[in-house]
C-alpha cells in the first residue's frame, strides 16, 4: 500500500516496536514523516532475538521519520508514564497508540507455569489497558486519534481455548479493551480498533515457536503494517479487522508481495472465523483439506514409519540431538513407541523408553502421525491446530522435526 504522507507530523506511540510487527508499523508511519515513539524493553542486543530500540530508531530515521526510543516494560506504570511524558515533551502530543507488545506460551492448563500465566496477562491485557489509560488524555487532544490493538476477533469457540487457554484469555483481554474503549471513547473522537493477521507472520516469536523453516509459510510483517496504515486513514471504530480484508477494501490485489516464499502455501493464524479459514489449502480443523486416499487402518503403517526413522539413525545424529522421545498414538491402533536419540547409536521400539522418562512426549492420532512423517502435515501446523500435543522440551522437539 502506497504511503500518502497524511501521517506527516503526527505522533505514533508503538509498544513492542524493536522488531517484528511493531517495528513494521513504526517504519510505515515514518515513511510519511511521522514522529515515532519506539516503546520496548530491548535496549541491549538479545542473544536470540534481533533488534533493539536503538536499531529500530535508526531505521525509522533513515526512512524519514523522527524517533524517540524509550525503554519501556508495559507492566511497569512508571516506565509507561515516563515514556508518554517524554513523547509529549518532544513531539507536543500523541495521535496514535499501537498496543503491539505481547507474550505467548502455548501450553494447556496443567503445563502452564503460573509465572508464564502472569507474564502473558500482565503484558497482553494489563499492559494494553495501562498504556491506553495513560495515553488517552493526550489522544483526546488529537484531531485524528486512534488506538489500535494487535489482537484477534472475539470468537467464543472452544477450539481456540482448549490447547492454550491461558494465552487465549490474555490475548482476548486485549480485544475486550477494544470492545469497551471503542464505545467509552466514541464521544472523545478516539477510534479504537483491533487488527489481526490472517496468516502466520514471519517474526522472531514465530521462529522460536516453530523454527526458521516455518517462516516459508508466512507473510512478512509489512502486510499488517500496511493494513494498520489503512485503518489510520479511516474513522472506523469498534472493529475487529483482518489484515488481508482491510487491504482488499483499499484496492490491494497482489498479496504475493507479502509472502516470504510465494511458491509455498500459507499457514493460517489463530482465532480466525470459518469464512477466513476456508481460503487456506489447509486449515485449523483439517490442515490439508485434500485428504490422502491411502488406507491407514493397518497398524503396520506405524511400524513402517518407525523402521524408516530407524534406518536414519547414526551416532553422529544421536550426538547432535541428545533426546529421548515417546509417541502416544491414538485412534484405531493405540500404541506407544519410543525413539532414543541420546544413547549409543540410537534405538527405536514399542513401549515406554527403557532408559526411563522421555524428554519429549508426543500425543497424536495415527493418521496425523503418518501424515507428519511423510511430509503431508507440518509438525508446527499440527501443534498449533491441536492435532499434536507436546509435553517436555520444545527445543528437543524442534530437533526431531528434521527427521520428518
Dihedrals φ, ψ of 167, to 5°? -65, -45
Residues 6+ apart with CB under 8 A from 252: 1, 226
Whether 167 is catalytic is yes
Angle between helix 20-30 and 53-62 (nearest 10): 30
Residue 243 three-state SS: helix
Q: Using CA atoms of 352, 356, 395, 378 in order, give the dihedral in degrees to the nearest 10.
A: 0
Calpha distance 258→269 (Å, rounded): 15
Q: Which residue has the cell 535496549?
A: 43
**Which position among 167, 229, 258, 383 bears the catalytic label?**
167
Report the first-to-last Cα separation within the chain, whole angstroms: 38
What's 257's DSSP letter?
G
Q: Using CA atoms of 357, 166, 116, 83 in order, give the dihedral in degrees to the nearest 10.
A: 160
Task: Look at residues 98, 106, 135 and name the one whose alpha carbon lies nearest to residue 16.
Answer: 98
Catalytic positions are: 167
Amino acid at each position: 500500500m502506497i504511503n500518502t504522507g497524511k501521517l506527516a507530523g503526527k505522533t505514533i506511540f508503538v509498544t513492542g516496536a524493536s522488531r517484528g510487527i511493531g517495528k513494521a508499523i513504526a517504519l510505515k508511519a515514518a515513511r510519511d514523516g511521522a514522529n515515532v515513539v519506539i516503546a520496548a524493553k530491548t535496549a541491549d542486543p538479545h542473544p536470540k532475538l534481533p533488534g533493539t530500540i536503538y536499531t529500530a530508531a535508526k531505521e525509522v530515521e533513515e526512512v524519514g521519520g523522527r524517533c524517540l526510543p524509550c525503554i519501556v516494560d508495559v507492566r511497569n506504570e512508571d516506565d509507561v508514564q515516563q515514556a508518554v511524558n517524554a513523547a509529549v515533551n518532544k513531539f507536543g502530543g500523541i495521535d496514535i497508540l499501537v498496543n503491539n507488545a505481547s507474550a505467548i506460551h502455548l501450553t494447556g492448563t496443567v503445563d502452564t507455569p503460573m509465572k508464564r500465566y502472569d507474564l502473558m496477562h500482565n503484558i497482553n491485557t494489563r499492559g494494553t489497558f495501562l498504556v491506553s489509560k495513560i495515553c488517552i488524555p493526550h489522544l483526546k487532544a488529537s484531531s485524528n486519534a486512534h488506538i489500535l490493538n494487535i489482537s484477534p476477533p472475539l470468537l467464543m469457540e472452544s477450539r481456540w481455548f482448549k490447547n492454550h487457554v491461558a494465552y487465549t484469555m490474555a490475548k482476548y483481554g486485549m480485544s475486550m479493551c477494544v470492545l469497551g474503549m471503542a464505545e467509552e471513547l466514541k464521544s472523545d473522537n478516539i477510534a479504537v480498533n483491533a487488527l489481526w493477521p490472517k496468516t502466520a507472520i514471519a517474526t522472531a516469536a514465530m521462529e522460536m515457536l516453530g523454527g526458521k523453516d516455518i517462516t516459508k509459510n508466512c507473510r512478512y510483517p509489512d502486510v499488517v503494517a500496511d493494513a494498520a496504515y489503512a485503518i489510520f486513514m479511516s474513522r472506523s471504530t469498534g472493529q475487529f479487522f483482518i489484515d488481508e480484508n482491510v487491504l482488499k477494501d483499499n484496492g490491494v490485489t497482489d498479496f504475493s508481495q507479502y509472502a516470504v516464499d510465494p511458491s509455498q502455501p500459507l499457514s493460517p493464524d489463530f482465532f480466525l472465523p470459518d469464512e477466513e479459514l476456508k481460503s487456506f489449502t489447509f486449515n485449523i480443523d483439517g490442515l490439508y483439506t485434500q485428504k490422502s486416499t491411502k488406507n491407514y487402518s493397518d497398524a503396520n503403517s506405524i511400524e513402517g514409519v518407525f523402521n524408516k526413522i530407524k534406518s536414519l539413525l547414526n551416532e553422529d545424529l544421536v550426538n547432535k540431538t541428545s533426546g529421548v522421545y515417546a509417541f502416544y498414538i491414538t485412534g484405531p491402533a493405540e500404541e506407544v513407541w519410543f525413539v532414543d536419540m541420546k544413547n549409543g547409536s540410537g534405538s527405536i521400539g514399542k513401549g515406554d523408553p527403557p532408559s526411563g522418562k522421555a524428554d519429549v512426549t508426543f500425543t497424536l492420532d495415527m493418521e496425523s502421525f503418518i501424515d507428519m512423517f511423510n511430509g503431508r502435515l507440518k509438525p508446527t501446523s499440527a501443534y498449533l491446530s491441536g492435532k499434536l500435543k507436546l509435553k517436555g522440551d520444545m527445543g528437543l522437539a524442534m530437533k526431531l522435526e528434521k527427521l520428518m
